[in-house]
Amino acid sequence: MQNAKLAAKVESQKHSVLQLTDSVSVGGEDLLIVGGPCSVESLDQMETVAQQLSGSVQALRGGVYKPRTSPYAFQGMGQDGLEILNTIRHRYDIPVVTEVMAIAQIEAVADHADVLQIGSRNMQNFDLLKAMGEIDKPVVLKRGLAATIEEFVMAAEYILAHGNSNIILCERGIRSFDSYTRNVLDLGAVVALKQITHLPVLVDPSHATGKRELVPDLARAAIACGADGLLLECHPVPEESVSDARQTLSLEDMNALVRSLKPIAAAVGRSLPVARRPKSEAPVAMAQ
């Protein structure tokens, strides 16, 4: 391993706990569960997601700048999608995570979201990594499609070296020879990253498997092996997702999955933060 002097965990150093907002953190005893669609599609869609998930997850996700294999595929809602995320995070008092693909997008994304994601395809976009070092918002850095653990850690080091210490790693599967699953979820990397770095580590079993029926068991396995949380794709009507439909859970299945994590979290000394009542459903104060 090269000299990852800022990412590396030196002996006896504690793991870093990062605040996403005043009340949501990652890396401590509380797990961070992030759920939402692959792509933001409409305000209605995100309202439904927020209403049904805000009692069970700690943060919402939804891409508005989408790195798609085909230039003819849906590329994301862009600025209109950012406005939707901004509305939702304030209305439901819940942090949102969304991807930034280019330096030119950073300012607007940082103004409308709580956590910025660097996707797999940009893990070694070094100029983008350096620019992410200039902001102070948390960054979810996803492992490259075929990145070694060392390359992954050094990518995080770029952001750290440029001044941003709020880095969250995310294992999302790596390419292999078997096309049965979209990728291969490398849980060994999760354990290794927790040993060699002080950074929080999330697992994304949705992109790792590409098949919704494989997601819940791998989500539970991720928590069992020490992940600090999960990034999961879910949608009000999964089959109608404009992107990544095949790996997307229904909101009901998502909530059931989160409930099923409780005993596993407890077994490894972690907890799921107490569910909050969605802000918009808070009882109206009685007039005196």
Shortest distance (Å) from residue 220 CB to ligand PEP: 20
Which of the choices ligand PEP, Mn ion, none does residue 228 contact, using the CB cut-off of 5 to 8 A by kind?
A: none
Q: Which of 205, 200, 262 is nearest to 227 (CA)?
A: 200
Kindly list the residues in this chain that would bind ligand PEP in the complex (CB under 6 A): 38, 63, 67, 99, 119-120, 142, 172, 204, 207
Selection from 113, 52, 88 nearest residue 235 by Cα: 52
Binding site partner of 119, from ligand PEP, Mn ion, none, Cβ cut-off 5-8 A by kind:
ligand PEP
Q: Which residue is nearest to ligand PEP (CB)?
A: 119
Residue ranges in 133-202 assigned as alpha helix (H): 149-161, 187-196
Q: How far is the CB of 168 from ligand PEP (least distance, A)?
A: 13
Q: Work out how close the CB of 200 gets to ligand PEP at its nearest, in angstroms, rounded to a whole number.
A: 16
Residue type, 283: P
Quick check: helix, strand or coil at residue 285? coil
Q: Name the residues that contact Mn ion, by CB under 5 A.
A: 38, 244
Distance CA 43, CA 90 (A): 13
Residue number, 175 or 277, with CB nearest to ligand PEP: 175
Complex with Mn ion: residue 228 or 244, whichever CB lies closer: 244
Contacts (Cβ under 8 Å, ≥6 apart) of 60: 34, 35, 36, 46, 49, 50, 53, 54, 85, 88, 89, 92, 94, 95, 96, 97
Least distance between ligand PEP and beta carbon 285 (Å): 39
